[in-house]
Amino acid sequence: MRFPALKMALATGLMATSAMGLVVHASSHNEAPAISQLRQVDGTDFYMFRSYEPGREDYMTIMGNYYPLQQPYGAVVFFAMDEDAVYELHLDNDGDNVEDLTFQFDFNIELGGITVDAGGQQTEVALYSAGVIGPNREDNAALNLRETYTLTLIEGDRRRGKKTVLRDRETGSHIFQKPADYVGTDTFGGPGNYETYARDHVYEFDMPDCDMPGKVFVGQRKDPFNVNLGQAFDLLNFQTLNEDGSVTPFLPVGEANSDIGPDVTDDDNVTTLSVELPIACTTADGDPVVGGWTTASLPKARLLRNLSEKRKDPDFEAGRLVQVSRLGSPLVNELVIGLSDKDRFNNSEPKDDGQFANYVTNPAFPEIIESVFGGAGVVVPAPNLFPRTDLIATFLTGLTVPNTFNTAPQSGTALSEMMRLDTSVAATPFGMQNPLGVLDFEDLGEGVERPYLAADPAGYPNGRRPGDDVIDITLRAAMGTLISVGFFGEAEDAPAGLVPFVDGARRTSLEFLNEFPYFETPLPGDRDD
The reported pLDDT for the residue numbered 23 is 38
76 confidence band (pLDDT: 50, 70, 90): confident
The reported pLDDT for the residue numbered 139 is 87
233 confidence band (pLDDT: 50, 70, 90): low
pLDDT exceeds cutoff 80 at 230: no
pLDDT exceeds cutoff 80 at 333: yes
Cα–Cα distance measured from residue 204 to residue 220, given in angstroms and rounded to the nearest whole number: 19
267 confidence band (pLDDT: 50, 70, 90): confident
Cα–Cα distance measured from residue 418 to residue 74, given in angstroms and rounded to the nearest whole number: 33
Judge contact between 340 and 32, C-beta under 8 A. Answer: no
Range of lowest pLDDT (23-27, 45-49, 382-386): 23-27
In this structure, the number of other CB atoms found within 10 A of the CB of residue 323 comes to 17
Q: Which residue has the higher pLDDT, 245 or 98?
A: 98
% the chain with pLDDT above 90: 58
pLDDT in tens, 27-63: 556 666 677 778 899 999 999 999 999 999 999 999 9
Range of lowest pLDDT (91-95, 161-165, 253-257): 253-257
Cα–Cα distance measured from residue 429 to residue 425, given in angstroms and rounded to the nearest whole number: 12
The reported pLDDT for the residue numbered 50 is 98
Judge contact between 394 and 259, C-beta under 8 A. Answer: no
Judge contact between 238 and 228, C-beta under 8 A. Answer: yes
Cα–Cα distance measured from residue 425 to residue 437, given in angstroms and rounded to the nearest whole number: 13
Q: Which residue has the higher pLDDT, 237 or 393?
A: 393
Range of lowest pLDDT (123-137, 271-285, 299-313, 399-413): 299-313
H/E stretch holding 178: strand 176-178
Mean pLDDT of 281-310: 87
The reported pLDDT for the residue numbered 11 is 39
Judge contact between 311 and 285, C-beta under 8 A. Answer: no
The reported pLDDT for the residue numbered 526 is 83
Mean pLDDT of 199-214: 97
Mean pLDDT of the residues in the chain: 86
Cα dist from 126 to 70, 85, 97, whole Å: 21, 26, 48
Cα–Cα distance measured from residue 468 to residue 299, given in angstroms and rounded to the nearest whole number: 35
Judge contact between 517 and 195, C-beta under 8 A. Answer: no
Q: What is 251-277 written as a DSSP string?
A: -SBSGGGTTSS--TTTT-EEEEEEEEE
Residues whose CB falls within 8 Å of the CB of residue 296, separated by 6 or more in sequence, listed in order: 41, 42, 43, 66, 82, 85, 86, 87, 88, 323, 324, 325
pLDDT exceeds cutoff 50 at 5: no
Cα–Cα distance measured from residue 62 to residue 240, given in angstroms and rounded to the nearest whole number: 34
